[in-house]
Amino acid sequence: MHTRRARRIRAVRSDEPAEAIAARAAALRPFLGRSGEERRINLRRMLRLERRAARCGVDYDALRHAALRRLLAEAEGPPPVVGATQEHADVRNEKGRHPR
């Protein structure tokens, strides 16, 4: 009796993923818009389309998805650090202590 075994998919990369993502991001950058808000709107729209393609399994490009995520992170800037700004530096509770 012959049993079927699932075959493994093997892949070989000829380049580094980080380099490929950076190249794809550089190629997409001119088409995103001029202002910061326009870039963020376009990137969010493109990411929604890429996620939809990932769910369907049709026309999904992992490099494009990673490049769009990287570009959106650049457009939004670093996340604010709580307590690092002057606004949050002097926050105290009703007993005059810093909240934990």
Question: Domain map of the chain by residue range?
Answer: 17-76
Q: Model-level pTM? A: 0.63
User: What CA–CA distance (Å, rounded) separates 94 from 69?
Assistant: 41
User: What CA–CA distance (Å, rounded) separates 28 from 39?
Assistant: 11
User: What's the pLDDT tens digit per position in 10-61?
Assistant: 666 677 888 999 999 999 999 888 888 999 999 999 999 999 999 988 888 8
Single-letter residue type at 79: P
Q: Please state the three-class secondary structure of 38-80 as a single string.
A: HHHHHHHHHHHHHHHHHHHCCCCCHHHHHHHHHHHHHHHCCCC
User: What's the pLDDT tens digit per position in 74-85?
Assistant: 998 877 666 555
Q: What is the pLDDT of residue 83?
A: 56
Backbone angles phi, psi at 96, to 5 degrees: 85, 10
